[in-house]
Chains A and B, each alone.
Chain A
Protein backbone atom coordinates (compact mmCIF):
# COMPACT_ATOMS: atom_id res chain seq x y z
CA UNK A 1 0.00 0.00 0.00
CA UNK A 2 1.59 3.30 -1.06
CA UNK A 3 1.49 6.69 0.64
CA UNK A 4 -0.70 7.98 -2.20
CA UNK A 5 -3.24 5.27 -1.43
CA UNK A 6 -3.17 6.23 2.25
CA UNK A 7 -3.71 9.89 1.38
CA UNK A 8 -6.68 9.15 -0.85
CA UNK A 9 -8.20 7.02 1.90
CA UNK A 10 -7.59 9.81 4.38
CA UNK A 11 -9.28 12.39 2.20
CA UNK A 12 -12.29 10.14 1.73
CA UNK A 13 -12.88 9.62 5.43
CA UNK A 14 -15.94 11.05 6.97
CA UNK A 15 -14.94 13.79 9.38
CA UNK A 16 -16.01 13.62 12.98
CA UNK A 17 -15.80 9.84 13.35
CA UNK A 18 -14.33 8.72 16.62
CA UNK A 19 -12.34 5.63 17.62
CA UNK A 20 -11.87 4.38 21.17
CA UNK A 21 -8.46 2.71 21.63
CA UNK A 22 -8.24 0.42 24.67
CA UNK A 23 -5.03 -1.19 25.93
CA UNK A 24 -3.17 -1.35 29.22
CA UNK A 25 0.12 -1.45 27.32
CA UNK A 26 1.57 1.91 26.33
CA UNK A 27 3.63 0.25 23.57
CA UNK A 28 0.50 -0.90 21.77
CA UNK A 29 -1.45 2.30 22.39
CA UNK A 30 1.46 4.37 21.05
CA UNK A 31 1.76 2.38 17.85
CA UNK A 32 -2.02 2.39 17.26
CA UNK A 33 -2.24 6.09 17.97
CA UNK A 34 0.73 7.01 15.78
CA UNK A 35 -0.48 4.85 12.89
CA UNK A 36 -4.04 6.15 12.98
CA UNK A 37 -3.04 9.80 13.46
CA UNK A 38 -0.72 9.63 10.48
CA UNK A 39 -2.97 7.79 8.09
CA UNK A 40 -6.48 8.75 9.11
CA UNK A 41 -8.37 11.78 10.39
CA UNK A 42 -10.49 10.06 12.99
CA UNK A 43 -10.70 11.49 16.47
CA UNK A 44 -9.01 9.17 18.97
CA UNK A 45 -10.02 8.53 22.57
CA UNK A 46 -7.88 6.33 24.85
CA UNK A 47 -8.67 3.99 27.74
CA UNK A 48 -6.29 1.82 29.79
CA UNK A 49 -8.52 -1.04 30.97
CA UNK A 50 -11.92 -2.63 30.42
CA UNK A 51 -13.78 -0.64 33.05
CA UNK A 52 -12.47 2.67 31.76
CA UNK A 53 -13.32 1.51 28.23
CA UNK A 54 -16.96 0.88 29.14
CA UNK A 55 -17.21 4.27 30.87
CA UNK A 56 -15.62 6.09 27.93
CA UNK A 57 -17.67 4.19 25.36
CA UNK A 58 -20.88 5.28 27.10
CA UNK A 59 -19.69 8.87 27.50
CA UNK A 60 -17.98 9.35 24.13
CA UNK A 61 -20.19 7.21 21.85
CA UNK A 62 -17.33 6.19 19.52
CA UNK A 63 -17.94 4.95 15.99
CA UNK A 64 -15.51 2.06 16.47
CA UNK A 65 -13.69 0.41 19.37
CA UNK A 66 -10.25 -1.20 19.12
CA UNK A 67 -9.69 -3.19 22.30
CA UNK A 68 -7.01 -5.39 23.87
CA UNK A 69 -8.09 -8.70 25.43
CA UNK A 70 -5.83 -9.13 28.47
CA UNK A 71 -6.20 -6.10 30.72
CA UNK A 72 -6.45 -5.37 34.46
CA UNK A 73 -9.76 -4.73 36.25
CA UNK A 74 -11.90 -5.95 33.33
CA UNK A 75 -10.67 -7.94 30.34
CA UNK A 76 -11.61 -7.18 26.75
CA UNK A 77 -14.20 -9.96 26.45
CA UNK A 78 -16.08 -8.84 29.57
CA UNK A 79 -15.85 -5.20 28.50
CA UNK A 80 -17.28 -6.18 25.11
CA UNK A 81 -20.21 -8.01 26.74
CA UNK A 82 -20.84 -5.04 29.02
CA UNK A 83 -20.84 -2.61 26.10
CA UNK A 84 -23.31 -4.73 24.16
CA UNK A 85 -25.80 -4.36 27.04
CA UNK A 86 -26.09 -0.66 26.21
CA UNK A 87 -28.49 0.13 23.39
CA UNK A 88 -26.27 2.90 21.99
CA UNK A 89 -23.26 0.59 21.76
CA UNK A 90 -24.95 -2.50 20.34
CA UNK A 91 -24.02 -1.78 16.74
CA UNK A 92 -20.65 -0.13 17.28
CA UNK A 93 -17.96 -2.28 15.61
CA UNK A 94 -15.59 -3.73 18.21
CA UNK A 95 -12.25 -5.05 16.98
CA UNK A 96 -10.24 -7.11 19.41
CA UNK A 97 -6.46 -6.78 19.50
CA UNK A 98 -4.98 -10.07 20.58
CA UNK A 99 -1.59 -11.69 20.70
CA UNK A 100 -3.25 -15.10 20.40
CA UNK A 101 -5.01 -15.71 17.11
CA UNK A 102 -5.92 -19.34 17.87
CA UNK A 103 -9.47 -20.41 17.12
CA UNK A 104 -10.53 -20.81 20.78
CA UNK A 105 -9.59 -17.21 21.55
CA UNK A 106 -11.19 -15.92 18.39
CA UNK A 107 -14.42 -17.85 19.12
CA UNK A 108 -14.49 -16.47 22.64
CA UNK A 109 -14.13 -12.98 21.19
CA UNK A 110 -17.01 -13.42 18.77
CA UNK A 111 -19.18 -14.95 21.52
CA UNK A 112 -18.57 -11.84 23.63
CA UNK A 113 -19.89 -9.71 20.80
CA UNK A 114 -16.84 -8.43 18.95
CA UNK A 115 -16.94 -8.03 15.16
CA UNK A 116 -13.37 -8.75 14.19
CA UNK A 117 -9.85 -9.10 15.48
CA UNK A 118 -6.27 -8.17 14.64
CA UNK A 119 -3.17 -9.81 16.06
CA UNK A 120 -0.14 -8.26 17.73
CA UNK A 121 2.34 -7.02 16.74
CA UNK A 122 0.22 -4.39 15.05
CA UNK A 123 0.73 -4.08 11.32
CA UNK A 124 0.04 -0.49 10.27
CA UNK A 125 -1.44 -1.26 6.87
CA UNK A 126 -3.69 -4.01 8.25
CA UNK A 127 -4.92 -1.75 11.05
CA UNK A 128 -5.74 1.17 8.75
CA UNK A 129 -7.47 -1.12 6.27
CA UNK A 130 -9.71 -2.84 8.81
CA UNK A 131 -10.61 0.42 10.59
CA UNK A 132 -11.37 2.21 7.32
CA UNK A 133 -13.39 -0.76 6.12
CA UNK A 134 -15.72 -0.76 9.12
CA UNK A 135 -16.08 3.02 9.29
CA UNK A 136 -16.69 3.40 5.56
CA UNK A 137 -19.43 0.74 5.76
CA UNK A 138 -20.93 2.53 8.77
CA UNK A 139 -20.93 5.82 6.84
CA UNK A 140 -22.80 4.21 3.92
CA UNK A 141 -25.43 2.73 6.23
CA UNK A 142 -26.24 6.10 7.83
Chain B
Protein backbone atom coordinates (compact mmCIF):
# COMPACT_ATOMS: atom_id res chain seq x y z
CA UNK B 1 0.00 0.00 0.00
CA UNK B 2 1.49 3.32 -1.04
CA UNK B 3 1.14 6.07 1.52
CA UNK B 4 0.22 9.43 0.11
CA UNK B 5 2.48 12.19 1.37
CA UNK B 6 0.68 15.24 2.74
CA UNK B 7 1.94 18.40 1.16
CA UNK B 8 0.31 21.76 0.57
CA UNK B 9 -0.69 22.31 -3.06
CA UNK B 10 1.06 25.39 -4.28
CA UNK B 11 3.48 26.04 -7.06
CA UNK B 12 5.77 28.05 -4.80
CA UNK B 13 7.11 28.30 -1.27
CA UNK B 14 7.02 24.59 -0.58
CA UNK B 15 8.75 24.10 2.77
CA UNK B 16 12.09 22.42 2.28
CA UNK B 17 11.27 19.90 4.98
CA UNK B 18 8.27 18.64 3.01
CA UNK B 19 10.28 18.34 -0.16
CA UNK B 20 12.91 16.44 1.78
CA UNK B 21 10.19 14.24 3.25
CA UNK B 22 8.83 13.46 -0.20
CA UNK B 23 12.31 12.64 -1.48
CA UNK B 24 12.86 10.35 1.47
CA UNK B 25 9.50 8.67 0.92
CA UNK B 26 10.31 8.00 -2.74
CA UNK B 27 13.80 6.79 -1.88
CA UNK B 28 12.37 4.31 0.63
CA UNK B 29 9.78 3.23 -1.90
CA UNK B 30 12.38 2.55 -4.59
CA UNK B 31 14.51 0.60 -2.09
CA UNK B 32 11.45 -1.43 -1.12
CA UNK B 33 10.83 -2.33 -4.78
CA UNK B 34 14.47 -3.30 -5.18
CA UNK B 35 14.39 -5.48 -2.06
CA UNK B 36 11.17 -7.16 -3.17
CA UNK B 37 12.67 -7.83 -6.56
CA UNK B 38 15.75 -9.42 -5.02
CA UNK B 39 14.21 -11.26 -2.09
CA UNK B 40 10.84 -12.50 -3.33
CA UNK B 41 10.52 -15.53 -5.61
CA UNK B 42 8.98 -13.62 -8.50
CA UNK B 43 8.52 -14.72 -12.09
CA UNK B 44 10.16 -12.63 -14.81
CA UNK B 45 7.04 -10.59 -15.51
CA UNK B 46 6.68 -9.53 -11.89
CA UNK B 47 10.38 -8.77 -11.67
CA UNK B 48 10.08 -6.52 -14.72
CA UNK B 49 7.19 -4.74 -12.99
CA UNK B 50 9.31 -4.29 -9.83
CA UNK B 51 12.19 -2.93 -11.91
CA UNK B 52 9.85 -0.45 -13.59
CA UNK B 53 8.39 0.67 -10.25
CA UNK B 54 11.89 1.04 -8.85
CA UNK B 55 12.93 3.10 -11.85
CA UNK B 56 9.79 5.29 -11.70
CA UNK B 57 10.14 6.01 -7.96
CA UNK B 58 13.82 6.79 -8.44
CA UNK B 59 13.10 9.08 -11.41
CA UNK B 60 10.43 10.99 -9.50
CA UNK B 61 12.74 11.40 -6.51
CA UNK B 62 15.44 12.86 -8.73
CA UNK B 63 12.90 15.07 -10.53
CA UNK B 64 11.64 16.55 -7.25
CA UNK B 65 15.19 17.53 -6.39
CA UNK B 66 15.85 19.00 -9.83
CA UNK B 67 12.45 20.65 -10.34
CA UNK B 68 11.70 18.58 -13.46
CA UNK B 69 8.65 16.59 -12.40
CA UNK B 70 6.50 17.11 -15.51
CA UNK B 71 9.38 15.97 -17.72
CA UNK B 72 9.91 12.95 -15.49
CA UNK B 73 6.25 11.96 -15.82
CA UNK B 74 6.55 12.08 -19.62
CA UNK B 75 9.79 10.10 -19.45
CA UNK B 76 8.14 7.42 -17.32
CA UNK B 77 5.28 7.26 -19.84
CA UNK B 78 7.61 6.96 -22.78
CA UNK B 79 10.28 4.63 -21.40
CA UNK B 80 8.40 2.50 -18.88
CA UNK B 81 4.89 2.34 -20.32
CA UNK B 82 5.40 2.80 -24.04
CA UNK B 83 3.32 5.92 -24.61
CA UNK B 84 4.81 8.88 -26.44
CA UNK B 85 1.60 10.90 -26.71
CA UNK B 86 0.83 12.40 -23.32
CA UNK B 87 -0.61 15.58 -21.86
CA UNK B 88 -0.87 17.11 -18.42
CA UNK B 89 -3.85 19.13 -17.21
CA UNK B 90 -3.84 20.84 -13.82
CA UNK B 91 -6.45 22.75 -11.89
CA UNK B 92 -5.63 26.39 -11.35
CA UNK B 93 -5.58 27.92 -7.91
CA UNK B 94 -9.07 29.13 -8.70
CA UNK B 95 -10.61 25.63 -8.73
CA UNK B 96 -13.01 26.36 -11.57
CA UNK B 97 -10.28 26.63 -14.16
CA UNK B 98 -8.05 24.10 -15.89
CA UNK B 99 -4.59 24.74 -17.28
CA UNK B 100 -2.75 22.87 -19.99
CA UNK B 101 0.58 22.24 -18.29
CA UNK B 102 2.49 20.41 -20.97
CA UNK B 103 2.43 17.62 -23.49
CA UNK B 104 4.68 15.37 -25.48
CA UNK B 105 4.06 13.92 -28.94
CA UNK B 106 0.39 14.85 -29.18
CA UNK B 107 -0.92 15.32 -32.72
CA UNK B 108 -3.08 18.28 -33.83
CA UNK B 109 -6.29 16.25 -33.45
CA UNK B 110 -5.44 15.28 -29.88
CA UNK B 111 -4.41 18.84 -29.07
CA UNK B 112 -7.72 20.09 -30.42
CA UNK B 113 -9.57 17.54 -28.26
CA UNK B 114 -7.70 18.79 -25.18
CA UNK B 115 -8.49 22.41 -26.00
CA UNK B 116 -12.14 21.63 -26.63
CA UNK B 117 -12.78 19.17 -23.79
CA UNK B 118 -10.21 19.87 -21.05
CA UNK B 119 -12.82 20.71 -18.45
CA UNK B 120 -14.90 17.63 -19.20
CA UNK B 121 -11.85 15.35 -19.26
CA UNK B 122 -10.97 16.50 -15.76
CA UNK B 123 -14.56 16.11 -14.66
CA UNK B 124 -14.72 12.56 -16.08
CA UNK B 125 -11.56 11.49 -14.27
CA UNK B 126 -12.40 8.91 -11.60
CA UNK B 127 -12.03 10.39 -8.13
CA UNK B 128 -9.79 7.76 -6.56
CA UNK B 129 -8.57 5.52 -9.33
CA UNK B 130 -7.16 5.47 -12.81
CA UNK B 131 -9.14 4.93 -16.00
CA UNK B 132 -7.75 2.41 -18.47
CA UNK B 133 -9.41 1.74 -21.80
CA UNK B 134 -10.42 -1.91 -21.92
CA UNK B 135 -12.70 -2.03 -24.92
CA UNK B 136 -15.43 -3.54 -22.77
CA UNK B 137 -16.65 -1.02 -20.24
CA UNK B 138 -15.17 2.07 -21.80
CA UNK B 139 -16.53 5.45 -21.04
CA UNK B 140 -17.67 6.50 -24.47
CA UNK B 141 -16.58 10.10 -24.06
CA UNK B 142 -13.00 9.25 -23.10
CA UNK B 143 -12.56 6.50 -25.66
CA UNK B 144 -14.03 8.74 -28.36
CA UNK B 145 -11.15 11.15 -27.74
CA UNK B 146 -8.65 8.32 -28.23
CA UNK B 147 -7.65 8.33 -24.56
CA UNK B 148 -5.96 5.08 -23.49
CA UNK B 149 -5.59 6.00 -19.85
CA UNK B 150 -6.42 8.84 -17.54
CA UNK B 151 -4.50 9.21 -14.29
CA UNK B 152 -5.96 11.70 -11.85
CA UNK B 153 -3.58 13.04 -9.26
CA UNK B 154 -4.58 14.41 -5.92
CA UNK B 155 -3.29 16.30 -3.00
CA UNK B 156 -5.07 15.76 0.28
CA UNK B 157 -8.65 15.18 -0.80
CA UNK B 158 -8.82 17.26 -3.97
CA UNK B 159 -8.12 16.24 -7.55
CA UNK B 160 -5.39 18.56 -8.78
CA UNK B 161 -5.10 17.39 -12.35
CA UNK B 162 -4.85 14.51 -14.76
CA UNK B 163 -2.20 12.81 -16.86
CA UNK B 164 -3.64 11.83 -20.23
CA UNK B 165 -2.22 8.91 -22.18
CA UNK B 166 -3.28 8.77 -25.81
CA UNK B 167 -2.02 6.08 -28.22
CA UNK B 168 0.53 3.52 -27.10
CA UNK B 169 3.54 2.59 -29.21
CA UNK B 170 2.90 -0.19 -31.77
CA UNK B 171 4.75 -2.79 -29.66
CA UNK B 172 2.16 -2.22 -26.91
CA UNK B 173 -0.70 -3.26 -29.16
CA UNK B 174 -1.93 -5.62 -26.45
CA UNK B 175 -2.85 -2.59 -24.36
CA UNK B 176 -2.00 -1.83 -20.78
CA UNK B 177 -1.61 -4.76 -18.38
CA UNK B 178 -1.66 -5.24 -14.61
CA UNK B 179 1.99 -4.20 -14.34
CA UNK B 180 1.22 -0.93 -16.13
CA UNK B 181 -1.68 -0.45 -13.74
CA UNK B 182 0.71 -0.64 -10.77
CA UNK B 183 2.93 1.95 -12.38
CA UNK B 184 0.00 4.25 -13.13
CA UNK B 185 -1.19 3.85 -9.53
CA UNK B 186 2.23 5.02 -8.39
CA UNK B 187 1.84 8.12 -10.58
CA UNK B 188 -1.71 8.59 -9.28
CA UNK B 189 -0.40 8.65 -5.71
CA UNK B 190 2.78 10.66 -6.21
CA UNK B 191 2.32 12.96 -9.22
CA UNK B 192 0.30 15.49 -7.20
CA UNK B 193 2.73 15.92 -4.31
CA UNK B 194 5.73 15.82 -6.65
CA UNK B 195 4.25 18.43 -8.99
CA UNK B 196 3.43 20.59 -5.98
CA UNK B 197 7.15 20.96 -5.32
CA UNK B 198 7.66 22.46 -8.79
CA UNK B 199 6.63 25.69 -10.42
CA UNK B 200 4.27 24.59 -13.15
CA UNK B 201 4.10 26.60 -16.34
CA UNK B 202 0.48 27.08 -17.42
CA UNK B 203 0.70 27.02 -21.20
CA UNK B 204 -3.00 27.65 -21.76
CA UNK B 205 -5.90 28.18 -19.37
CA UNK B 206 -9.42 26.95 -19.96
CA UNK B 207 -12.70 28.05 -18.36
CA UNK B 208 -14.64 26.71 -15.38
CA UNK B 209 -14.43 22.99 -14.61
CA UNK B 210 -18.14 22.75 -14.16
CA UNK B 211 -18.81 24.49 -17.43
Which A residues contact B (CB, under 8 angstroms)? 1-3, 6, 25-28, 30-31, 34-35, 38, 99-102, 119-125
Partner of B51, one of A101, A102, A124: A124
**Provided the pairs A3-B41, A27-B75, A121-B81 are in contact, do residues A34 and B171 lie with their beta carbons within 8 angstroms?**
no
- In whole angstroms, how far apart are the Cα atoms of A13 and B171 in the complex? 30
CB atoms of B51 and A121 under 8 A apart:
no
Bits for B71-87, please: 1 = Cβ < 8 Å to A, else 0.
01001101111101000
CB atoms of B38 and A121 under 8 A apart:
no
Partner of B59, one of A30, A35, A99, A120: A30
B55 at interface, CB cutoff 8 A:
yes
- In whole angstroms, how far apart are the Cα atoms of A101 and B52 in the complex? 20
B44 / chain A contacts, CB cutoff of 8 Å: 1-2, 6, 124-125
15 contacts between A and B (CB under 8 A): A26-B62, A26-B75, A27-B55, A27-B59, A27-B72, A30-B54, A31-B55, A34-B54, A34-B55, A35-B51, A38-B51, A99-B82, A120-B78, A124-B44, A125-B45
CB nearest to B30 among chain A residues: A30
B37 / chain A contacts, CB cutoff of 8 Å: 34, 38
Q: What's the least CB distance linking A122 to chain B, in Å?
A: 8
CB atoms of B170 and A121 under 8 A apart:
no
The B interface is mostly helix, strand or loop, or mixed, namely helix
Which residues in window 42-60 of B have CB below 8 A to A?
42-45, 47-48, 51-52, 54-56, 58-59
Interface pairs A-B: 7 shortest CB-CB: A124-B48, A125-B44, A30-B55, A27-B79, A31-B55, A1-B44, A119-B171
